[in-house]
Chain A
Amino acid sequence: MTATTEATRRLTGSKAMVEAIAQEMERDPNVIVLGEDVGTYGGIFGSTTGLLDTFGPDRVMDTPISETAFIGLGIGAAVEGLRPIVELMFVDFFGVCMDQIYNHMAKIHFESGGNVKVPMVLMTAVGGGYSDGAQHSQTLWGMFAHLPGMKVVVPSNPADAKGLMTAAIRDDNPVIYLFHKGLQGLVWMAKQSRAMGNVPEEPYEVEIGKAAVAREGADVTIVTLSLSVQHAIEVAEELAPEGIDVEVLDLRSLVPLDRDAVAASVAKTGRLVVVDEDYQSFGLSGEIIATVAERGVALKSAPIRVAVPDVPIPYARELEYAVLPRQDRIRDAVRKVMG
């Protein structure tokens, strides 16, 4: 394949995910997919489209709505040598099955003194912005990241969606893969202009634990992840003509967290805005600022967090827009740290 074909092939987030899964299923017969509506429907957010046709019902399995049972099943299957990709339809549903996730999936390797591995991927949809209410709009990544024993990856674009999925499947650890609904390029959701992106055709891994500089800048660092990366880039481009040069750092994973990249970028710019679609308190945004403080990075102004202000996600559009870290709030924060 030539570099030109690579560069011109544009996929949606969901197509990129599916391609990664299909290529790994091709390569390794132990990779299986299971979850609600992952078969004929192809995943409510398009994460498994076409896999049933290609790999058949023995490897792509619709489950009953029994998350504890089928996530637990994924753990057992992983322990015995399969490499399951299990979908939890919305991250918000973790409540019915969290024990399997945090007391089992995440702890078995440790409790066994490293003797038992759980190579599984738990993929799940996150995020709001389309009035789905308090039980279907959360991101919750900080919560998983808080609990030791699982890697937590969060792609912001199609190329990473593919590379992080491939890396997650090949990883010998449990990996929570949180994909934002707004980045899937779904026909029934508002089109995010950057939901389409160049994706190389051959299999490749994006290393889990390495942040990416999504836009270079000199004046202020926005540390962010997932859909907010795209919002941050938009704001950065808008502010450039005003002479504000914004660097956008895409974390790509919470666990491991690329603290070196955070410290390096903030040391360069001296100003920090953290944009996080998760609840503000006790989560990622505080962790980023703690990292900067612990490393003694000198700041020219106090850091600002743009996150969900510790309120469940409201249904009414006016209210939801007020609490999400949308472009207007990011812009205000950047102007404010610039002083």
Chain B
Amino acid sequence: MEDKTRADLFTTMVQIRAFEEAILADYHADKKPAWDIGAGLIPGEMHLSAGQEPVAAGVCAHLDNRDAVTATHRPHHFAIAHGMDINKLAAEIYGRETGLGRGRGGHMHLFDPDTHFSCSGIIAEGYPPALGQALAFKRQGAGAIAVAVTGEGAANQGAFHESLNLAALWNLPVVFVVEDNDWAISVPRTSSTSVLSNADRAAAYGIPGIRVEDNSVEGVYDAAGEAVQRARSGGGPTLIEVHTLRLWGHFEGDAQAYRPELPEVPGRDPIPSYEQQLIADAVLDETQIEQLRDEAKKRVQDALDFAKSSPTPDPSTATHYVFA
């Protein structure tokens, strides 16, 4: 793999992490003294994607903003990797009028026409719309594709299976991505899923299925490269499952008492290990990495400043935007 590609993958991962860490800090900053999910600068449920950066970085490296992505309740990594304007992303999370959805949507409901990005708080429900985007792209004939993302827990939902069948049947340009982070809230995949790998389920619908182990960003990059190529060239859908890591809780405030592996989780963080690898291979040196981190943090700081200095929505407009 080219050095430039590897450095780019790393940069994307660092950018995502910088964003999630900043949101994490602000989310918890003002929920005191008694922790109240509805209080503070960022209220509501918050599902952060730390640890899952390799999936978004590896997949989105093959996309441009003609391509669609439908993501999940845990959407920030894909939003950022797919090139969403992080000012608008941040402003939506802070519930501001300048946000993607003018503060109406919130962090699970991001809709960005510029990057054909969307997500849903209802698990697996991003799969079906991706089919329609793929159908539209196919008719338009410009080679754009749709990527549909879901968690391993969501792969037990009807919408997942119906979508695989229909996409295969109509040979739609879709790449299905399953992020297997071992957990669906407190339920481990062994208690939810009858097969060891969701990639095996692809066979039931007559499409290729591949599982990427070890949360490897380069493994994802390779698998997604092939799948995206197949979709763009009319070869139909592919299912990719990535064995990834939920570094933090299911949502912020989740004590994770159900998670026996917790002590060793930080040691599986994909970013430090990739960093070491890139240094060892002389792709990047420590100075470059520090610089790249600083730049990522700066971009995030700018986005947060933009969000926090933006106006909150006017309550008298609360019933706007229900209809076109």
Q: A residues touching B (Cβ–Cβ < 8 Å)?
A: 36-37, 39-41, 44, 62-68, 92-93, 95-96, 129-136, 187-191, 309-312, 314-319, 321-323
Q: List the B residue with the shortest CB-CB distance to A315.
A: B106
**Chain A residues whose CB sits within 8 angstroms of the CB of B191 once the complex forms:** 62, 64
Q: Which of B94-145 contact A (CB under 8 A)?
A: 95-96, 101, 103-109, 120-125
Assembly CA distance A313 to B275 (angstroms): 43
Q: Is the CB of A310 within 8 A of B319?
A: yes
What are the residues of chain A within 8 A of B35 when measuring CB–CB?
187-188
Chain B residues numbered 43-97 whose CB sits less than 8 Å from any CB in chain A: 43-45, 92, 95-96
Q: Report the separation of the CA atoms of residues A37 and B251 in the bound assembly, to the nearest whole angstrom.
A: 14
CA separation between A87 and B184, bound complex, in Å?
16
Q: Report B101 CB to chain A, min CB distance, Å.
A: 8
**Interface digits, B305-323 against A, CB 8 Å rule (1 contact, 0 not)?**
0000000111111110010
Segment from B149-157, B174-182, B220-228 that makes contact with A = B149-157
Q: Across the interface, name the chain A residue whose C-beta is closest to B102.
A: A316
A136 is contacted by which of B121, B158, B258 (Cβ under 8 Å)? Answer: B121
The 16 sampled A-B contact pairs (Cβ below 8 Å) are A36-B187, A37-B185, A64-B184, A65-B184, A66-B156, A130-B44, A133-B106, A133-B108, A134-B106, A134-B109, A136-B121, A310-B322, A314-B318, A315-B103, A318-B95, A318-B318
Say yes or no: B109 contacts A315, CB within 8 Å: yes
The interface residues of chain A lying within 8 Å CB-to-CB of B39 are: 190
Count residues on chain B whose CB falls below 8 Å from chain A CBs.
51
Alpha-carbon distance between A40 and B101 when the two chains are bound, in angstroms: 36
Cβ of B128 to closest chain A Cβ, rounded Å:
11
Contact B45 A65 (CB under 8 A): no
Main secondary structure of the interface of B (DSSP, over half): loop
- Min CB–CB distance B26 → chain A (angstroms): 14
| Contact partner, B156, options A64, A135, A311, Cβ 8 Å | A64
A136 CB, nearest partner CB in chain B, Å: 6
A-side contacts of B34, CB under 8 Å: 187, 191
Known A96-B159, A315-B104; contact A136-B253, beta-carbon cutoff 8 A: no
Whole-angstrom distance between the Cβ of B37 and the nearest chain A Cβ: 5
Interface of B toward A, CB cutoff 8 Å: 34-39, 43-45, 92, 95-96, 101, 103-109, 120-125, 153-154, 156-159, 184-187, 191-193, 253, 257-258, 312-319, 322
Closest to A93 in B: B122
Within the assembled complex, what's the spacing in Å between the Cα atoms of A189 and B257? 19
Nearest-neighbour CB distance to chain B for A202, whole angstroms, equals: 31
Closest to A95 in B: B122
A93 to B253: give the CA distance in the assembly, Å: 22
Residues of B within 8 A of A66 (CB): 156-158
Q: Looking at the assembled complex, report how far the CB atom of A188 sits from the nearest CB atom of chain B, in whole angstroms.
A: 5
Residue of A nearest to B120 (CB): A135
Do residues B185 and A44 form an inter-chain contact, with CB atoms below 8 A?
Answer: yes
A311 touches B318 (CB 8 A): yes
Closest 3 A-B residue pairs measured CB to CB? A130-B38, A315-B106, A316-B95
| CA gap between A66 and B187 in the complex, in Å | 13
Docked-complex contact B192 and A65, CB < 8 angstroms: yes
Contact yes or no, B95 A317, CB < 8 A: yes
Neighbouring B residues of A191 by C-beta, 8 Å:
34
Residues on B with beta carbons closer than 8 Å to the beta carbon of A41: 185-186, 258
What's the minimum C-beta distance from B276 to chain A, rounded to whole angstroms?
35
Contacts of A92 in B (CB 8 A): 122
Pair B105/A65 contact, Cβ less than 8 Å = no
In the bound complex, what is the Cα–Cα distance between A323 and B319 (angstroms)? 8
Contact check: which of B36, B158, B159 meets A190 at CB < 8 Å? B36
B312 touches A318 (CB 8 A): yes
Closest to B96 in A: A316
Q: Are B44 and A132 in contact (CB under 8 A)?
A: yes
> Hey, which chain A residues are within 8 Å of B120, CB to CB?
135
Do the beta carbons of B103 and A316 come within 8 Å of each other?
A: yes
Given contacts A36-B185, A36-B187, 7 further A-B contacts (CB under 8 A): A65-B184, A66-B156, A96-B157, A131-B44, A133-B106, A188-B35, A315-B44
The answer to whether B158 touches A318, judged by C-beta atoms less than 8 angstroms apart, is: no
Which residue on B lies nearest to A134, using beta carbons? B109
**A189 and B258 in contact (CB under 8 A), knowing A62-B191, A95-B122?**
no
Kindly identify which residue among B36, B121, B157 contacts A65, using a CB–CB cutoff of 8 Å: B157
A37–B186 CB distance below 8 A: yes
How far does the Cβ of A24 sit from chain B's closest Cβ, in whole Å?
A: 24
Contact in complex: B186, A311 (CB < 8 Å): no
Interface pair B108/A65, CB less than 8 Å apart? no
B-side contacts of A310, CB under 8 Å: 319, 322
Q: How far is the CB of B182 from chain A (nearest CB, A)?
A: 14
Q: How far is the CB of B32 from chain A (nearest CB, A)?
A: 13
Least Cβ distance of A207 to chain B in Å? 34
| CA gap between A312 and B101 in the complex, in Å | 13
Q: Which residues of B contact A132 (CB under 8 A)?
A: 44-45, 106
CB-defined contacts of B103 to chain A, threshold 8 Å:
314-316, 319
- The CA-CA distance from A96 to B38 in the complex, in Å, is 26
User: Of B186, B187, B258, B312, which one neighbours A316 at CB under 8 angstroms?
Assistant: B312
- Taken together as a complex, chains A and B put the C-alpha atoms of A80 and B185 apart, in Å, by 31
Of A40, A63, A133, the residue contacting B258 (CB under 8 A) is: A40
* Inter-chain contact A315/B95, CB cutoff 8 Å: yes
